[in-house]
């Protein structure tokens, strides 16, 4: 399930990149929020509005992933905000 969730985050990142490319200009974060991120069923709108920063720098998805803005590249990349759960190791003493 995690791999698919990362792929969804990348697709949303690509959608933001495509929006900027199609606009042919610098696009303010507010426009990306209203036209790309907020309408997406993947985005946890309430958490993003509460914890995403001002100006908006993080988009929280309903999965354990989100998007983080990289100002130096003017793009959004996936990050993990959820807990990482590893299965217990079954190590037996020799």
Mind listing the pLDDT tens digit of every residue in the chain (94 residues)?
A: 588 999 999 999 999 999 999 999 999 999 999 999 999 999 999 999 999 999 999 999 999 999 999 999 999 999 987 565 656 767 776 6
| Predicted local distance difference test score (pLDDT) of residue 54 | 94
Cα 21–55–69 angle (5° rounding)? Answer: 45
| Predicted local distance difference test score (pLDDT) of residue 84 | 59
What is this structure's pTM?
Answer: 0.83
Q: What is the dihedral of CA 36, 37, 43, 49, to 10 degrees?
A: -160
Give residues with Cβ within 8 angstroms of 23, minimum separation 6.
Answer: none
């Amino acid at each position: 399930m995690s791999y698919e969730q990362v792929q969804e985050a990348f697709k949303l990142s690509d959608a933001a990149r495509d929006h900027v490319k199609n606009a042919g200009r610098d696009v303010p974060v507010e426009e990306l929020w209203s036209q790309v991120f907020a309408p997406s069923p993947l985005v946890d709108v309430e958490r993003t509005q509460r914890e995403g920063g001002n100006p908006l720098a993080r988009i929280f998805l309903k999965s354990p992933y989100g998007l983080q803005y990289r100002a130096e590249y003017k793009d959004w990349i996936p990050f993990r905000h959820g807990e990482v759960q590893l299965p217990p190791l079954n190590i037996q003493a020799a």
